Amino acid sequence: MTIIDWIVLFAWLVFLVSYGLWRGRGSTTVNQYLLAGKTMPWYAMGLSIMATQASAITFVSTTGQGFVDGMRFVQFYLGLPIAMVILCATAVPIFHRAKVYTAYEYLEKRFDAKTRSLVTAVFLIQRGLGAGIALAAPSIVLSVILGWSFHVTTLVMGGLVILYTTFGGIKAVTHADVQQMMFIMGSLILAFILAISLLPPDISFFDAVKLAGAAGRLNAIDASLDWNNRYNLWSGLIGGGFLMLAYFGTDQSQVQRYLTGKSIGHSRLGLLLNAMAKVPVQFFILFIGSMVFVFFLFQRPPLLFHPVEMKRVALTPEYPALQVRFDEALNAREAAARRVKGGAPVADLLSAQQQVDAVRADAQKLSHENDTNYIFLSFVTRYMPVGLVGLILGVIFTAAMSASSGEINSLATVTMIDVYQRHLHRGANDRHYLFASRLATIFWGCYAVAFANFAQGLGTLIEAVNQVGSLFYGSMLGVFVLAFFLKKVRGTAAFLGVAVGQLAIFAVAAFTSVAYLWYNVVGALVVIAVGYGLSFVLTEKPKTASG
């Protein structure tokens, strides 16, 4: 990076944190600090929700997936619009009318304290793991690209997050997210334009799309029904739909966003903005990855995109032979691509691509790191103009901060409302709880930094831990379905339903090869079946929830 890129990167960080602090000023009550005093307009909520999901690792790995695996990952989001519609019709008005700070507070109003406590514990475990990973995963990538140590990267990132989240609360987080989301989209559009403009003069945009399709990179829809296939139309619509229902309907990091809305209507519009924009945005990000793939058909890529691993592999005795094979495969692929552009069949291109993939796979056996996350960043740092490199890296840096701030803020809210206020210190004044909220934010921020540093030592386990989140959503969704729709079900039946549902998910994960998106379906259905079934057996007094 040049000095100009560093200046741009730091200027962007200073701007975003200052802007968040400025917009978050005046959060002098718990209601303002945790729910922005319910003053947020729909577009701010919608963009903030999208920014929280678009974490840095998603940003860099999604483009990498487009490069390596094509566009099939877009199907993961097809269930999202359905989930948003269901939540707009159910959870949004119910939570608003219940006048709660957290989703779990509603469970006590509807069921009992033990069900609320169990689901609160599930959330804190799941999100607690996620908070550290949300810092660790992008820090690993950014520390390599920026040349910083991992500890410095997590400390800078975590420190800035703690600063504006602690002082400004949800208002600071939401307003920073809005800026963040707009800059993410702007940066992606610039990257897309640049990838197209850097193609050889005889390759038009339409030629590039044709070549991406010929290489199997435009596989957006797969309608075959395969339970073990992670991404197809059905796993996206059904499994993805359940996951999105659980994530937006039961995860406090999302529920808190739409509870900040000025009205029920604003909350609904915020979610529906996400419903309509998410699939096209993901399509666009994956499409950029596909265009970067086409760019590298004509521009010689490195054997490995990870700069440190590339240097390490280059010192191994296997490297010279690998590089020779790689060069030959690249020459054959470029020649085949030009023939396909001229109208020849695609078989030669696919065969040449297999050769390239085989050499890269052999090289990756000598490496210790996932190479996919470095593809887009390698493209940015090698081919973007001065200044833009700093801006895009800055945006990726703050995307990690955005995801992390949302998680820390929600963890602090649940800790304050569902643990401290409910079980440890009742009846204090608002000022006391505001102070406790800020302390909880600092605690979870420090915890995230510490856990991130511990998680780095887990190496490839980070990816496994990252998927652990999907082990909990099904049971959380199930208990809220019981609460919203099955009035016959009371507290003990719901509590036992969650416990059995959670065990069922663990069993499916441990003893079957079912793709993880289906865990959410299994967990939710077991909780509903057990909870509803037990409601016929257990005799409990009815309880009326407000809302």
State which of positions 384-423 bind other proteins (CB under 8 A).
417, 421-422
What is the spatial distance between Cα 111 and Cα 101, in angstroms, rounded to a whole number?
A: 17
Per CB under 8 A, does 21 bind other proteins? Answer: no
Compare residues 9 and 218 and give the one whose CB is closer to other proteins.
218
- The least CB distance from residue 544 to other proteins, in Å, is 10
- The least CB distance from residue 78 to other proteins, in Å, is 7
- The least CB distance from residue 265 to other proteins, in Å, is 4
What is the spatial distance between Cα 4 and Cα 7, in angstroms, rounded to a whole number?
A: 5
Could you write out the three-class secondary structure of 266-310? HHHHHHHHHHHHHHHHHHHHHHHHHHHHHHHHHCCCCCCCCHHHH
Compare residues 111 and 183 and give the one whose CB is closer to other proteins.
111
Contact range with other proteins by CB under 8 A, out of 8-16, 91-99, 318-326, 512-520: 91-99
List b or e across 277-306, with b for residues whose CB sees 16 or more CB atoms inside 10 angstroms: bbbebbbebbbbbbbbbbbbbbbebbbbbb
State which of positions 92-121 bind other proteins (CB under 8 A).
93, 96-97, 99-101, 105, 108-109, 112-113
What is the spatial distance between Cα 293 and Cα 301, in angstroms, rounded to a whole number?
A: 10
Per CB under 8 A, does 430 bind other proteins? Answer: yes
DSSP-derived 3-state class of residue 545: coil
Compare residues 513 and 544 and give the one whose CB is closer to other proteins.
544
Per CB under 8 A, does 212 bind other proteins? Answer: yes
Q: By the 8 A CB rule, do 309 and 367 touch?
A: yes
State which of positions 517-546 bind other proteins (CB under 8 A).
543
# residues near other proteins by CB under 8 A: 63
Compare residues 429 and 513 and give the one whose CB is closer to other proteins.
429
- The least CB distance from residue 105 to other proteins, in Å, is 7
State which of positions 478-517 bind other proteins (CB under 8 A).
none
Out of 121, 155, 198, 272, point to the residue binding other proteins (CB under 8 A). 272
DSSP-derived 3-state class of residue 544: coil
Q: What is the CA radius of gyration of the chain?
A: 24
**Orientation of helix 113-146 relative to helix 252-259, angle to 10°:** 100
Helix then strand count (H, E) for the chain reads 24, 0
Please enumerate in sequence order all residues whose Cβ is within 8 A of that of 513, keeping only pairs 6 or more positions apart, or say none. Answer: 228
Out of 342, 343, 427, 542, point to the residue binding other proteins (CB under 8 A). 427
- The least CB distance from residue 163 to other proteins, in Å, is 25
- The least CB distance from residue 221 to other proteins, in Å, is 5
What is the spatial distance between Cα 282 and Cα 188, in angstroms, rounded to a whole number?
A: 11
Per CB under 8 A, does 89 bind other proteins? Answer: yes
- The least CB distance from residue 458 to other proteins, in Å, is 36
The site map against other proteins for 300-339 (x = CB under 8 A) is ----------------------------------------
What count of other Cβ atoms lies within 10 Å of the Cβ of residue 219?
16
Per CB under 8 A, does 286 bind other proteins? Answer: no
What are the backbone dihedrals phi and psi of residue 148, each rounded to the nearest 5 degrees, phi first?
Answer: -95, 165
CA distances (Å), 294 to each of 199, 212, 444, 505, 538, in order?
A: 8, 6, 43, 41, 62
What is the spatial distance between Cα 380 and Cα 393, in angstroms, rounded to a whole number?
A: 9
Compare residues 59 and 101 and give the one whose CB is closer to other proteins.
101
Q: Token digits for 247?
A: 């994530």
Per CB under 8 A, does 170 bind other proteins? Answer: no
The site map against other proteins for 36-75 (x = CB under 8 A) is --x-----------------------------------x-
Q: Token digits for 41?
A: 């307009």
User: Residue 198: is it exposed, middle or buried by C-beta count within 10 angstroms (0-12/13-18/19+)?
Assistant: middle
What is the spatial distance between Cα 180 and Cα 54, in angstroms, rounded to a whole number?
A: 10
Per the DSSP assignment, residues forming a β-bridge with 261 are 40
- The least CB distance from residue 299 to other proteins, in Å, is 22
- The least CB distance from residue 532 to other proteins, in Å, is 22
What is the spatial distance between Cα 18 and Cα 164, in angstroms, rounded to a whole number?
A: 8
- The least CB distance from residue 475 to other proteins, in Å, is 22
Residues at the site binding other proteins, with contacts judged by CB under 8 A: 29-31, 35, 38, 74, 78, 81-82, 84-85, 88-89, 93, 96-97, 99-101, 105, 108-109, 112-113, 209-210, 212-216, 218-223, 233, 259, 262-265, 268-269, 272, 275-276, 279-280, 283, 346, 350, 417, 421-422, 426-430, 433, 543
